Amino acid sequence: MAKNEIISGKKELDINAVTTCDATAQMLRKARRDGVETAFDRAANMKACPIGKDSACCKHCFMGPCRLNAKDPYSKVGVCGATIDTIMARNFARAVCAGSAAHTDHGMGMLDLFRDVLNGKIKDYGIKNPQKCIEVAASIGIETEDREFYDVAMDLYHELERTYTQVDGEIPFAKRVPAKTLETWRKEGIVPRGAMREIMELMHRSTMGVDQHYENITKACSRAALADGWGGSMVATEISDILFGTPSPVAVEVNMGVLKEDQVNIIIHGHEPNLFESMVESVNEPTLVQAAKDAGAKGINLVGMCCSGLEMFVRHGVPHAGNFMSTEAVLVTGAVDAMGVDVQCIKQGLVKVADCYKTPLITTNPRCHIEGATHVEFHEHDPKGCTDEIVIQAIGRFKNRSMPIEIPQIVNTGVHGFSHEYINYMLGGSFRASYTPLNDNIINGRIRGVAGVVGCTNPRMKQDYVHVELVKELIKNDVLVVQTGCSQIALAKAGLTTPEAAHLAGPGLKEVCETVGMPPVLGVGACVDNSRILIAVTEMVKTGGLGDSIADLPVAGCAPEFMSEKAIAIGQYFVASGVYTVFGVTFPIVEGTKFHKHLFQELEERGMGKWGFAVDPHDIAAKMIAHIDKKRKALGIDKARERVLMDMADRRDMEAA
């Protein structure tokens, strides 16, 4: 077996200290025996740069790089005179730009596909959910009554294109924002115009010698991030639902035990559902199924990982093998016959691990080639040209499997796919679908508040540990948890995404879960589907009784093991939308600086949310619960009491007053 040069003299990995995922741990032990290195080994042997970690380094020009002292942040400035606040704000801005660009580009790809499906240029995809198309169009003021579907859909396309290309005005989904939240944005000057403009301008502002006031840079960060959350990400979610169907809850299998030794195993990893949708077609193609059988396989087993997997398991019941820090480990099973990837979170290290096990690693997106991987380009006008080829390569590898195979025999089943539409239906029933029961249960205290726990896993943290401990503590305290991204898979592996997990919840939340038959932890989708959480909190505001803006709600968010710039963009759009958002691992800002105070305190004073930071799951939970309680107190619902509904007489009295 080719080894990927695990270098002698390196620190040996303490496997039990780096992951709580038993399957990943088993594969890391095998990797050690096989002489294969993963990101866990590299993280253990590469100390994070202490200056970069604190964001005290500026390399936006070539008079530097300039290094400031995080311990004495105001003792020095850069060669140009840039202060620590300017340097940190610029670095933060670049992360927001990159993260927002990733999601908005993904959304734009979905929109391109939608247009070409409508105009008939692409025939391999269709519109699975025309009703949603009408609803989304109506939500942004497009006339839908007595009109042809095509006309409404085309109007929707043109309107949503403004999310990207508009140079002045407000992005279309600003119409969905609760009035008071939008008023705050307007007052602060942070309503996004168009994503291209905001991202371009923020890149400009954060270049040498332009914006050198951290407050002004933060405003531009909010605009770019909001162009992601209420723009590109929301477009990605809504258009994906229109094209591929809106998820509703389904029991799905998670963990590496979903691989089958006697089948051709294909993993799709990345973010965009168009590739994966076509894979579903290809693995069901009779000639390819027959080819797999002729090669001695019982069938073709299609499996997802990371966000691609999250998009698909709720729409097609495709099983999910694991989250970000398991993508190398899963190859160590020797059972993966091909891994197809598109964009985002694809570690370059996968190439060497795949090579060790003779697994074809196939890149498919023109944006993402990887040296040493095979590139088979995916085209939406001929999607199966690419996805059939992935299957063919996988069958070829299956036929010539020469590696010993070891599949961790662990499978967890969870219920996922709680779109905001389904939450509406689930709580209210088909006759009175609404968020009223949720709001009522928050007001009467059965549910203390709602927490979004989202985001990546990171080899600097014990994999899954913080996600799981944090969520356990939240639900024990009657906080309903909604989830996206790799965090959702951590909780699924821990068995908390089942209705039975209600017994782990506090008495109020348990009662609600048991009445409705829902888990205390609701998986709502991939990272772009954080937009579903934005819509859910908007519905909570609009339903009434919990204040006038998102900032009034007893809600909080967290990405406890984040690693991606996309998470910073997500965090900033939640903060700008009014949500207290706590990050773990590390925060690229020096404490005790003006920029730190701005993000962690002053934004809230201006009617938005604010950032928080803690590493330990119990500390994070304490911060989130304290914030939820603070909001309950401000709403006057800190003591459990029944909601008093206004009747007509009350209304008349109010109007007369």
The site for ligand XCC (CB under 6 A) is made up of 271, 306-307, 323-324, 345, 455-456, 485-486, 526-527, 564, 566
Considering the complex, state which of residue 86 and residue 564 has its C-beta at the smaller distance from ligand XCC.
564
CB of residue 105 to ligand XCC, shortest distance in Å: 14
Per DSSP, the three-state class of 589 is coil
Considering the complex, state which of residue 105 and residue 211 has its C-beta at the smaller distance from ligand XCC.
105
Non-local (6+) Cβ contacts of 286 within 8 A are: none
CA distance 261 to 238: 37
Considering the complex, state which of residue 178 and residue 459 has its C-beta at the smaller distance from ligand XCC.
459
Considering the complex, state which of residue 320 and residue 566 has its C-beta at the smaller distance from ligand XCC.
566
CA distance 222 to 541: 21
CB of residue 487 to ligand XCC, shortest distance in Å: 7
Considering the complex, state which of residue 324 and residue 587 has its C-beta at the smaller distance from ligand XCC.
324
Considering the complex, state which of residue 178 and residue 340 has its C-beta at the smaller distance from ligand XCC.
340
CB of residue 570 to ligand XCC, shortest distance in Å: 8
The CA–CA distances, whole Å, from 272 to 305, 455, 640 equal 12, 17, 44
CB of residue 44 to ligand XCC, shortest distance in Å: 19
Closest CA to 336 of 394, 295, 271, 385: 394
CA distance 589 to 52: 10
CB of residue 328 to ligand XCC, shortest distance in Å: 13
CB of residue 61 to ligand XCC, shortest distance in Å: 29
- Element (H or E) spanning 522, and its range? strand 521-525
Phi and psi at residue 650, to the nearest 5° = -60, -45
Considering the complex, state which of residue 171 and residue 454 has its C-beta at the smaller distance from ligand XCC.
454
What sign does the CA torsion over 503, 249, 491, 553 have? Answer: negative
Q: Which amino acid is at 198?
A: E
Considering the complex, state which of residue 307 and residue 491 has its C-beta at the smaller distance from ligand XCC.
307
CA distance 214 to 83: 10
CB of residue 268 to ligand XCC, shortest distance in Å: 12
Considering the complex, state which of residue 564 and residue 581 has its C-beta at the smaller distance from ligand XCC.
564
The CA–CA distances, whole Å, from 343 to 148, 321, 384 equal 36, 18, 18
Considering the complex, state which of residue 212 and residue 308 has its C-beta at the smaller distance from ligand XCC.
308
Considering the complex, state which of residue 156 and residue 305 has its C-beta at the smaller distance from ligand XCC.
305
CB of residue 564 to ligand XCC, shortest distance in Å: 4
CA distance 18 to 8: 20
| ω into 65 cis (within 30 of 0) | yes
Q: Which residues pair with 5 in a beta bridge?
A: none
Q: What is the DSSP string of 65-130?
A: -EE--TTSTTS---TT---HHHHHHHHHHHHHHHHHHHHHHHHHHHHHHHHHHHTTS--S---S-H
CB of residue 271 to ligand XCC, shortest distance in Å: 6
Closest CA to 271 of 135, 456, 495: 456
Contact 478, 549 (CB under 8 A): no
CB of residue 303 to ligand XCC, shortest distance in Å: 15
CB of residue 287 to ligand XCC, shortest distance in Å: 33
Considering the complex, state which of residue 472 and residue 566 has its C-beta at the smaller distance from ligand XCC.
566
Q: Give the CA count within 13 Å in the CB-facing half-sphere of 591.
A: 5
- Element (H or E) spanning 361, and its range? strand 361-363
Q: 203: burial class by Cβ within 10 Å (0-12, 13-18, 19+)? A: middle
Q: Which amino acid is at 367?
A: R
Considering the complex, state which of residue 490 and residue 501 has its C-beta at the smaller distance from ligand XCC.
490
CA distance 491 to 464: 8
CB of residue 530 to ligand XCC, shortest distance in Å: 9
Residue 650: CB atoms within 10 Å: 11
CB of residue 647 to ligand XCC, shortest distance in Å: 46
